[in-house]
Every structure is written in C-alpha cells, then in structure tokens.
Amino acid sequence: MSACSKIRHIVALRQMLQRWRKKAARRGVPIDVPSGHVAITVGTNCKRYVVRATYLNHPMFKKLLSQAEEEYGFTNSGPLAIPCGELFFEELLSHLDNNKSMLVNFEDFQRYCHMDARSNLDFWGDSRPLLHTKFVW
C-alpha cells in the first residue's frame, strides 16, 4: 500500500468518525433520564421506566437482560426492552430498592412473586384495597 493510499484511508476513517460523533450528539439522552440511569421499556404496552444503571449488574437483572437478548437481539434502537410483565418488573425494582437479601437468584424471585398474597403479607405490605368497604351498586 502506497503512502498516498494510506493517507486517503486515514482521512476517510477520520471523516467517518466525525459523522458518527455528530450523529450521536444529535440523538442525545432524553431529558428525563438523569446521569447514572437508563430508560427501559417493559411488557406488552411498552411501559417506560427509568432505573439506576447499577441495577444492570445485579444477577436477577442480568437474567432479564439475557432473556431480552434471546428475544430481541441487539438490533433494537431506543430504550432497552425487557420481556417481562410490568407487575413483575415493578416488584423486582422494589426488591432492588429495598436491598432485600432473602432472595438470591432469579428463580426464587419468580416463585416469590407468584405466591399467594395471603401467605406473603410482608411482600404486599404496600398494597391497599381499592374500595375500602364502599359499595359500588
């Protein structure tokens, strides 16, 4: 390869790099996603959540990410898409926010989420009845 073609190749690479940088700068991060957080869509309705980026390192979250990779691959654009139900994801976030250590792995957490609510009152402590003894009809 001659010196002239090497220079052309370097110039072409620099121009491509500049185009990529401009493209990335135009996209930007949405305003509602603070530093250290990531946008995630969940469920059939693609409900959008903004969660801490550190959660992505948690073993249960890694399991969800591997499921997302199997289902969607790496080609989707926009927020990270997770293939699970919204309620399950909200319980997972609650679990991660409270740093509960009683559940070690993903399968235990799934079983815990599907237990009968009456036998699991400490887990559903934030739930409240919708009607509070008022009759609708």
How close are the terminal C-alpha atoms of the chain, in Å? 86
pLDDT class of 127 with cuts at 50, 70, 90: very low
Q: Would you say residue 97 lies in a domain? A: yes
Cβ neighbours of residue 96 under 8 Å, at least 6 residues apart? 55, 58, 60, 61
Q: Look at residue 107 in the predicted model and tell me its pLDDT.
A: 65
Q: Look at residue 19 in the predicted model and tell me its pLDDT.
A: 80
Between strands 47-52 and 37-42, the pairing is antiparallel
Which of 13, 72, 10, 11 has the alpha carbon at shortest distance from 41? Answer: 72
pLDDT, tens only, 70-92: 887 777 667 788 888 888 888 88
Mean pLDDT, the chain, integer? 72
Cβ neighbours of residue 117 under 8 Å, at least 6 residues apart? 123, 124, 127
Q: Would you say residue 126 lies in a domain? A: no
Q: Would you say residue 17 lies in a domain? A: no
Domain count, the chain: 1
Instruction: Provide the domain limits for residue 87.
Output: 37-120
Q: Look at residue 110 in the predicted model and tell me its pLDDT.
A: 59
Q: Would you say residue 64 lies in a domain? A: yes
Sign of torsion over alpha carbons 59, 60, 65, 70: positive
Q: Would you say residue 28 lies in a domain? A: no
Residue 115 reports pLDDT greater than 70: no
pLDDT, tens only, 4-43: 788 888 888 888 878 877 766 666 556 778 888 888 888 8
Q: Look at residue 119 in the predicted model and tell me its pLDDT.
A: 39
